[in-house]
Amino acid sequence: MRILLISHTCQSSTEGQPKAHVLGMTPEIDLHVLVPDRWLHYGKWRAPEAPPDASFKMITGKIQRPWSGPAQWYFHTYQNLKDILDELRPDVVDLWEEPWNYLSDQVCRLRDRYYPEMRIVSETEQNIDKHLPFPFEQYRSRTLRSADYLIGRSIEAVKVVRDKGYTGPAAIVPNAVDDSLFRPQDRDACRRELGLSGFVVGYVGRVVPEKGLVDVIDMLAFAPEQVNVLIVGDGPIREELELHATTVGVSSRVKFLSGRSLDELPRIMGAMDTLVLPSRTTQRWKEQFGRVLIEAQSCGIPVIGSDSGAIPDVVGGAGLVVPEGEPLALAHAVRDLLYDQPLLDEMGSVGRQQVAERYTWYKVARNMVTIYEDVLRRPVSSQSPGRPQLPPIGREPREISPSPDFSSFAKG
């Protein structure tokens, strides 16, 4: 099978390339990965990283519109996309981009017009049914009409595309973790490196309101004195959180670290007794997966999560779930782990087992191979008797009025 995986995430040697690397090692797959030559990643421009010992062929494409203000990256595409498809003639194009992205729409248009035997797999994480501003709802509709297979990151994500009219085959394929990188560490050594003591409740990720970090600070008022908090990450409310910790009198029990690279995180997580993800659902967002949970589980660290979005399913038996927005409930969960070492050890062990069974890149890659094989066995156009008739290809996206509510694009 010749597979073209299109993914800006695969720019990164630690974020997306592990998936591609394992896929590329599969004997029945000839894998090419198309990545952008530049990408605005949480406010910083980044270039592709050369894959070490790559089992796949990486194509760096010149990107158009990598960032379009309030529409973010959902207008991006590649200047020579048709040339790439002409040269490769892939059996399957795997769109590791949301279905409302202009790129997804363009790939579907090109396939429907020029490559009738090529199959399209569309991947999505969106777990809230919301109407997107023009023209993105139209892009999503056309992609869902044309896609031969749909992959959701969670049960809720699949339900959303079903509600939007998708009728073809679908599967849930979760995020994954590099279990050779995220593994148990020497707890005492990790704590000495960071200058930590007591029972450490840690958080790693974006420092934004929807992650519920105010609840982590407020939890300390109800928790025993030996409980301390470590917050690792950057974001717009960090100073506000530092001030809040001072205001409620717990600043001596809270340590902040700026964001760290992926390969630094295992040593940081190794210093934690438990990792928390107390996300709060908003009108436009709820937790879509929570990859930091499986990273902690892979390190043997028990987790505590709120009941926002996909968190309870990802936590499984490797931790505790509390109602979102309730710091007292969070404090009770912390106390349960603090005073029950056997429970703490058991949940750490269960987390490692869950990762091995569901969340390694090897498991995800095998799932993807099964899906590619399945979609190639199916008749062309699983969604409808014939390919949809679409307007001519090559139209640039129209200028967008400033009036639409682009908060629809809030991401987790």
CATH number at residue 130: 3.40.50.2000
Mean residue pLDDT across the chain? 92
The pLDDT of 67-82, averaged and rounded, is 94
| Residue of 372 and 385 predicted with greater confidence | 372
Whether residue 182 is contained in a domain is answered as: no
**How far is C-alpha 319 from the geometric centre of its chain's CA atoms?**
20
Q: 260 and 290 share a domain?
A: yes
What mean pLDDT comes out for the span 385-400? 39
- Does 227 reside within a domain? yes
Edge-to-edge, what's the strand order for the sheet holding 199-204? Answer: 254-257, 227-232, 199-204, 274-277, 303-306, 319-322
Instruction: Supply the pLDDT for residue 399.
Output: 35
Please say which residue of 315, 334, 358 terminates a domain. 358
Work out the average pLDDT over 244-254.
97
Domain boundary among the residues 358, 378, 400 is at 358
* Phi and psi torsions of 320, nearest 5°: -120, 150
Q: What percent of the chain has pLDDT above 70?
A: 92
What pLDDT is attached to residue 407?
Answer: 56
The predicted model gives 246-253 an average pLDDT of: 97
Res 380: pLDDT: 73
Q: How large is the average pLDDT for residues 233-237?
A: 96
Question: Residue 50: pLDDT band by 50, 70, 90 thresholds?
Answer: very high
**Residue 1: pLDDT band with limits 50, 70, 90:** very high
- Assess if residue 181 is contained within a domain: no
Q: What one-character DSSP code corresponds to residue 263? A: G
Residue 301: both structure tokens together: 């660290």
**The token pair that represents 408 in the structure block:** 């629809």
Residue where the block lists tokens 């630690």: 14
Number of domains in the chain: 2
Which is nearest to 17 in space by CA: 48, 46, 42?
48
pLDDT tens digits, 171-230: 999 999 999 999 999 999 999 999 999 999 999 999 999 999 999 999 999 999 999 999
Is residue 40 within 8 A of residue 17, CB to CB? The reply is: no
Q: How far apart are CA 177 and CA 183, in angstroms?
A: 10
Question: What range does the domain containing 215 cover?
Answer: 187-358
Beta strand 39-41 with 44-46 is antiparallel
- Phi, psi at residue 216, to the nearest 5°? -65, -40
Mapping DSSP to helix (H, G, I), strand (E, B) and coil, where does residue 178 land?
coil
Across the strands, what pairs with 257?
Answer: 232
- Whether 31 and 55 share a structural domain: yes
The total of other beta-carbon atoms located within 10 Å of residue 401's CB is: 8
Flag whether pLDDT at 237 surpasses 60: yes
pLDDT of residue 308: 97
- What pLDDT score does 386 carry? 39
Structure confidence by residue, pLDDT tens digits, 393-411: 333 333 333 334 555 555 5
Rounded to whole angstroms, what are the CA distances from 121 to 26, 94, 95, 314?
18, 5, 6, 24
What pLDDT is stored for residue 409 in this prediction? 59
Tens-place pLDDT, residues 3-34: 999 999 999 998 899 999 999 999 999 999 99
pLDDT, tens digit (0-9, with 9 covering 90-100), for 289-321: 999 999 999 999 999 999 999 999 999 999 999
Question: What does pTM read for this prediction?
Answer: 0.89
Residue type, 345: D
Q: What is the pLDDT of residue 398?
A: 39
Residue 280 lies in a domain: yes
Q: Quick check: is 245 in a domain? A: yes
**Pair (24, 118) in one structural domain:** yes
Judgement on whether residues 305 and 322 belong to the same structural domain of the protein: yes
199 and 121 part of one domain: no
Q: Is the pLDDT of residue 99 over 90?
A: yes
Over 60: is that where the pLDDT of 146 sits?
yes
Least trusted range by pLDDT, from 39-53, 87-101, 107-121 = 39-53
Regarding predicted confidence, which is higher, 173 or 54? Answer: 173
How does DSSP classify residue 24? H
pLDDT mean over 248-274: 96
pLDDT for position 410: 54
Percent with pLDDT over 90 in the chain: 88
- CB-count burial class (<10 Å; 0-12, 13-18, 19+) for 106: buried
Q: Do 232 and 163 sit in the same domain of this protein?
A: no
- Residue 90 domain-assigned (yes or no): yes
Residues 333, 317, single domain; the answer is yes
19: in domain: yes
Same domain (yes/no): 89, 38: yes
Same domain, 50 and 84: yes
pLDDT of residue 401: 36
Q: Determine the average pLDDT of the residues in 124-136.
A: 94
* Domain identity same for 22 and 164: yes
- Per-residue confidence band for 101, with pLDDT thresholds at 50, 70 and 90: very high
Asked whether residue 266 carries a pLDDT value surpassing 50, the answer given is yes
Tell whether 155 and 247 lie within a shared domain.
Answer: no
Confidence of residue 125 (pLDDT cuts 50, 70, 90): very high
Residue 375 domain-assigned (yes or no): yes
CA distance 282 to 109: 34
Specify whether 29 is located in the same domain as 60: yes
